[in-house]
Structure 1
């Protein structure tokens, strides 16, 4: 039953207008740069100002193109003035060139897309001098070196737009983006955002808001219908999985980098509807969109000044990456791509349809990222057990990024932004320092192995580890099976002749981190070898609230090599009331659930 209706299209328009008006006081006099309040990114204030212009301009473009052209707040005029000033080489507020600031390449794609979408109302009305200056600003992107990930599409999209209006472009750039994207496709519509060590390991929201977003818009600009067929097929496959990764609360999975982009996670759903590339009922697309928008707006993502903050719900600086600046959250503008669908589109007119997790319980495995997924209808919680990917070169010891290295992620619980603690299976030394997991090796579905290692510097980065030293420990094999809201986590530690950390170590299992008044029950119960229980409290470490708690279990003494340890790990709207039983042998562990189901877990030898 649908209890709360999704926002109407008119309500989406009103929110877009209010967000666009809210940023205007932070613009320079020429409108070329928007210096929003907040901590600078690593690229500096100048770059952040361009980001403020470009990302809000993309929002303006969706609003204008979907109207079409109806412009009660003279938005096109406002941004046209900023564009003319930004590409004027004599203007003190001009935009940085790509050679002056690499981040400008990212923002150029938003500007190019926005100009494509609003061409009759903006580009076509610019003076010929301003048009040429914009093309001159874009031109150095042609043939330039780019990071080998979603950035290739910034180059392709800007080149496609430039070609459409008589500017510089390169077929080699287009071919490189297309060929690389084919290599990054890991099957069933799932993209790795580039490769780590030649492997598909970079799974996160970029699969949707970049790898499925830009290629179809590129085809829209170039008119390449044959190529679009390839991307439409992949998006249909991916969306059938993605819909089951949305919680009943409207939240996307709280996993991966750039979480501050929030409802940008809606971009692939809207593009799927626009490009006839979705298996989802129109009313389901609208419901997911409305639930997700309401989820973030009601949780405080927009502050009292009408600005998106750096964070997930509220302002939360610890969710930032080095590239995050005060305007970075406006990548969420992609979440308004639904405005490209006219008011009479069936997405806006069809009856709402319930989310998959609102209809039934489900469990399934995603082979590309190596995720086991469980959703429960009673509480709307979706959980992911990660034994397959971690966004790092498998040959490189690394520190654990909490957004990639945890065993479990959810739509209702967020990882602690700390060294290994929640949703973990780790060894803790006599100094109280926990071993890190990355890189993990996927052994089979639901089973992974990692080399325990202790970095001298525990700072993390999704792309690489800090320049630091590591002490090596034993091997940790971890396995997960799940039924409903309860996972059984099984761990074995094996000795290594190459260890440089002398130990001793105790094994520690971390459960789900939760915040007060979440309505969730997070519990952790020892099933084998874990006898000491503790609750660890956090302050300003969790994206969902200022105070958090994590249940943990410890081995009573030093870990025993070759022994099976196990715990029931629960996250749900109701408490854990019945425990599974384990039958442990040297070859496997049989998990007998209260309803009689038996899961056999093999723990491969080292």
Structure 2
């Protein structure tokens, strides 16, 4: 933001203090910061940082297209008023980039796949700013732009959120008199329909790929498409738009429960460097009139996110967004991430299209769900138990349905998807040894060499909400040990592949109440398999720390704890665990210099066919609470009936079935 930020308004914005003036000031400062990196003819914004696997030319196009998003939203929200001359600079870049004889000619979308992505941002902004940019371009430039964009027609697109890139480009060409294909759009809409899941959620592909792409892509584009283009009633039947609106409303009802009181979104899934792009679906609902959230809640949630990243240092002193989460941390990127990639965060500033008099800017901020009371809900599609406490503002997810794989898959676990827990304050180590040997929020079998097993490919058994604010979830699958050393495929965030050795059947269940999880485990060996595994290990929440925690000689062998200045992760054995410890790693995550994880383990050998239990808690360290008790009795056909009872009398029972 500018050196002298606008004054806070605590009457209209009692939670964040931010107004539209803060948003516009941050946008203007961010756009000014990229100017020194614009190429002489303006076609590239070549920002500093490590190149993506696509190379610097692709990265420079990405820098142009994604900063164009922010410029377009900014000008559109002012009704075309553009005192800084933003659109003039992007017009110059369009002229140079689409001129095949220019030294700054862009690679075409039929030559470079990444150009298919950036073409959509360019086409969307040309549509949104049409009276002030496209309509004023020279005819020859318009022809070249249409020709460059037209290279997408008939091209293959992966059946994920990418189909919307072609829909947007071809819809612009349709209205601009260019080449387009109704068959392409029909096929792409069919792909989108195949990604719909219960409760308004969408999976980014046919795998169990649930992450922020559900919001900042698969919910962003459909309704924005019907808002910005003349397609309703022709390419988009009204009933289809209504279906999308209903999906968005249901999704947003979940999404606001996944925000911490400090404004942090959930740290889960790939492309986290897009940061506050997570606010995009909130703005789509407000912009198109299809959301179910009050205007004051929309602004509270969106401003909370933007201020969270601003105050945490996501914008460098020079005003740039660099690869990272809070401050710069390049290892957070995937193979496709370049220096311009973080500017997809501009999607989270879509609200700038709304004029200053819109209710979303004038209404008084309303509290997030976590600020109104404790949150307890299940989200069926991703298999999540969502719990948030008003006492400390943390939101946590216990995961029994997402792994960026399908049931029966044999890949290794992705730290971004397959862990048992994610929160608004922690992130699994993304580099270092535990990416290959899962530790945090995991239940693993250790083989004779001490290697940890992987659980991707499991099956979800249940996710249920019970009386008393209790959530219950369970999953089961054969675990395995995977050798990923030979996997050279580009990192897109999913689990790595390689040769594997099959392991036992592991059932994990969670009984969650007010953020306090009782984690239950049962291990069953396949018929005739030798039980040669060393131990069972259960990992707790990862805590970011400025320095490694001090060693605690003679520590309790049935409990482990890591306490930082603002977070505490603690484990206590309730049944079957007799070893405990803490593992610390340097430089493996973007939140702090160190990450520490408490763990519990069994003695050798692995107890087969028994129920083990542990208390798993992430909190702010505000004292201890009484532990629930766990009672286990035999059930029919070799299973177990488990009852978890809290000191205040609330009880929950579930059955862990034996292998069928």
TM class, shorter-chain normalised?
Answer: over 0.9
Judge conservation of contact 2:203–2:209 (CA < 8 Å) in 1: yes
- Determine the structure 2 residue equivalent to 1:473: 503
Moved over 6 A (4+): none
1:387 equivalent among 397, 400, 406: 400
Judge conservation of contact 1:80–1:122 (CA < 8 Å) in 2: yes
The aligned runs of 1:161-560 (5 Å cut-off) are: 161-196=172-207, 201-220=208-227, 221-224=229-232, 226=238, 227-417=240-430, 418-419=435-436, 420-445=438-463, 446-457=473-484, 461=491, 465-466=495-496, 468-497=498-527, 503-516=532-545, 517-560=564-607
Asked whether 1:5 is paired with 2:5, we answer: no
Q: Distance in 2 between matches of 1:413 and 1:59?
A: 29
Q: Distance in 2 between matches of 1:78 and 1:461?
A: 34
Judge conservation of contact 1:232–1:275 (CA < 8 Å) in 2: no
Give the CA deviation at 1:299.
1.2
How high is the TM-score relative to the length of structure 2? 0.89
What is the CA deviation profile of residues 337-366 of structure 1, one whole-angstrom value per residue up to 9, with x for unaligned ones? Answer: 001111001110011100000001121111
Q: Distance in 2 between matches of 1:325 and 1:497?
A: 49
Q: Distance in 1 between matches of 2:492 and 2:631?
A: 38
1:582 equivalent among 618, 630, 639: 630
CA change 1:344–1:354 in 2 (3 A) is same
Give the CA deviation at 1:94.
1.0
Match of 2:507, SS state, is strand
Judge conservation of contact 1:256–1:404 (CA < 8 Å) in 2: yes
- Determine the structure 1 residue equivalent to 2:65: 54
What is the CA deviation profile of residues 143-173 of structure 1, one whole-angstrom value per residue up to 9, with x for unaligned ones? Answer: 2111000000000000001111101111112
Q: Distance in 2 between matches of 1:4 and 1:244?
A: 16
The aligned runs of 1:18-167 (5 Å cut-off) are: 18-167=29-178
Q: Distance in 2 between matches of 1:302 and 1:69?
A: 27
Give the CA deviation at 1:4.
4.0
Give the CA deviation at 1:513.
0.6
Q: Distance in 2 between matches of 1:433 and 1:462?
A: 24
Judge conservation of contact 2:264–2:308 (CA < 8 Å) in 1: yes
Gaps of at least 5 residues in structure 1 are: none
What is the CA deviation profile of residues 425-465 of structure 1, one whole-angstrom value per residue up to 9, with x for unaligned ones? Answer: 11122323211111221112211112221111267955765
CA change 1:498–1:259 in 2 (3 A) is farther
- Determine the structure 2 residue equivalent to 1:15: 26
Judge conservation of contact 1:401–1:461 (CA < 8 Å) in 2: no
What is the CA deviation profile of residues 233-264 of structure 1, one whole-angstrom value per residue up to 9, with x for unaligned ones? Answer: 21111111111111111011111111110000
Give the CA deviation at 1:593.
1.3
Q: Greater CA deviation, 385-394 or 121-130?
A: 385-394
Judge conservation of contact 1:591–1:599 (CA < 8 Å) in 2: yes
What is the CA deviation profile of residues 31-84 of structure 1, one whole-angstrom value per residue up to 9, with x for unaligned ones? Answer: 101111111111111111110000000111001100122212211111111111
Judge conservation of contact 1:48–1:326 (CA < 8 Å) in 2: yes
What is the CA deviation profile of residues 304-327 of structure 1, one whole-angstrom value per residue up to 9, with x for unaligned ones? Answer: 221111111122222211111111
Count of aligned residue pairs for this structure pair: 601
Give the CA deviation at 1:334.
0.2
